[in-house]
Amino acid sequence: MKKFKHTVTLLTAAVLFFLLPRAGCLRAAAAEPVTYAVKYIEENDDWRYLANTSTFDENAYHRELYYMLLDIKDGDIVIVYNETDQARTLDLGDVHLGNLTVAPSDAITMIFSGDVNECHILKGAYCTINANVANAHVYESAVCNFNKNVQELRLHVESELSTSLSVGCEGTVGHLYAPSDTLPRTFYDLYDFKAGKMVILEGVLMANSADYSSAPAQPPAPTAVPAPSAPATDNDEYDEVPKTGAPSPLLWLAGIAVVSAAISFRLRKSNESFSQKAPF
C-alpha cells in the first residue's frame, strides 16, 4: 500500500508539473559582462590587465594577459591603454566583445579580437582594429583603420570635421554617418561602401561616388504568395493534421499512467479480497 501511494504521488506530481504555466523551463540568468582594463607596461614588456574596472592603475596588482584570456567571455568589455610605441600586438582572442574602447595614445595600438558590438575610438586614439564591428564610434582627432567590415560607422564631430581625423576601412561599410553635435548639419550620410573604399583623410572623404550609395539599398520586392488550396473534407486527412491547442502528448501519458496505476491497484485489491472469501 505504501509503495503504491508513493508511486501515485510521484505520477501526480509529474502531471501537475507539466500543467503549471511555463513548467519544465529552466531559467538561466545571463552573467553580467565583466570590464577589463588592459595596458602595455613597458617595464614588464607585456600587456597587463585589471578586472572589474574601466581605468588602469599601475600601482594596483595587475596580471599577465594570459589569465584574462582564460576568463574572458562573449559580451565582456575591454578598455585599451597604451603610452609607448614599444607595445606588441594586442591579441584578445576570438570572443565576441560587447564593447571595445581605445583610449587616447601617441603610439599606434594594433588590436585583434573576435566580433565587436560597440567599438569606441576616443579622441586622440591611434590604432588599427582587426575585427568585424557592428557599431563603430570614432571621435575627433582620432586616427584609426578597421581591417574588417563595419556595419555602422559614426563620426562624432562638434562643429567642423577636424583635419586631424583620419579613418579607413579595408572591409565594407554599411553606413557612414557624421552629424554635427552642435549644429543642425550632417557632413556624411552615405551607404554601402565597397571593400577598401571608405577612406577619410584629414577630415576629407577620398572615395569616389561610384564606391558608395547616397541612400540605403531597397529591400527586394516580396514574392507573390500562392492562394491556399481548398480545405480537405476527408476525415482521415483531417485527423492527420495537428490540432491547434491540443494537449501535449506528455500530459496525456502522465495522466494515463496515474489512472492506470489506480485501476491496477483496485483490481489487485479486488482479487485479494475475492481470494480470501473463496472456500478453496
Closest by CA position to 39, among listed 98, 117, 95, 105: 105
Q: Identify the residue with better confidence: 204 or 15.
A: 204
Judged against a pLDDT cut of 90, whether residue 165 lies above it is answered with yes
Mean pLDDT on 202-216? 95
The residues pairing with 48 across neighbouring beta strands, listed in sequence order, are 39, 64
| Cell representation of residue 48 | 597587463
Min mean pLDDT across 44-48, 183-187, 248-252, 260-264 is at 248-252
How many other C-beta atoms lie within 10 A of the C-beta of residue 116? 26
pLDDT 10s digits, 226-274: 666 555 444 444 344 444 444 444 444 444 444 444 545 454 555 455 4
Min mean pLDDT across 14-18, 158-162, 268-272 is at 14-18
Q: What is the pLDDT of residue 224?
A: 62
| Cell representation of residue 149 | 567590415
> What are all long-range contacts of 12-15, with beta carbons under 8 Å and residues at least 24 apart?
12/258, 14/254, 14/257, 15/251, 15/254, 15/255, 15/258
Q: What is the pLDDT of residue 170?
A: 98
The residues pairing with 23 across neighbouring beta strands, listed in sequence order, are none
Q: What is the pLDDT of residue 141?
A: 93
Q: What angle do CA 43, 49, 53 make, to 5 degrees?
A: 130
Average pLDDT score, the chain: 81
Q: What is the pLDDT of residue 4?
A: 52
Q: Look up the pTM and report it.
A: 0.70
Mean pLDDT on 183-189? 94
Say which residues have a Cβ less than 8 Å from residue 187's Cβ, sequence separation at least 6: 155, 157, 161, 178, 179, 180
pLDDT 10s digits, 62-120: 999 999 999 999 999 999 999 999 999 999 999 999 999 999 998 999 999 999 999 99
Measured CA to CA, the distance from residue 158 to residue 262 in angstroms comes to: 79
Judged against a pLDDT cut of 50, whether residue 17 lies above it is answered with no
| Cell representation of residue 151 | 556595419
Cα 235 from chain centroid? 47
Q: Half-sphere exposure (CA, 13 Å, Cβ side) for 109?
A: 30
Judged against a pLDDT cut of 70, whether residue 277 lies above it is answered with no
Measured CA to CA, the distance from residue 280 to residue 270 in angstroms comes to: 17
Under a CB-based contact definition with an 8 Å cutoff, are residues 38 and 48 in contact? yes
Strands 90-91 and 198-201: unpaired
Q: What is the pLDDT of residue 256?
A: 43
Min mean pLDDT across 7-16, 91-100, 107-116, 209-218 is at 7-16
Under a CB-based contact definition with an 8 Å cutoff, are residues 156 and 136 in contact? no
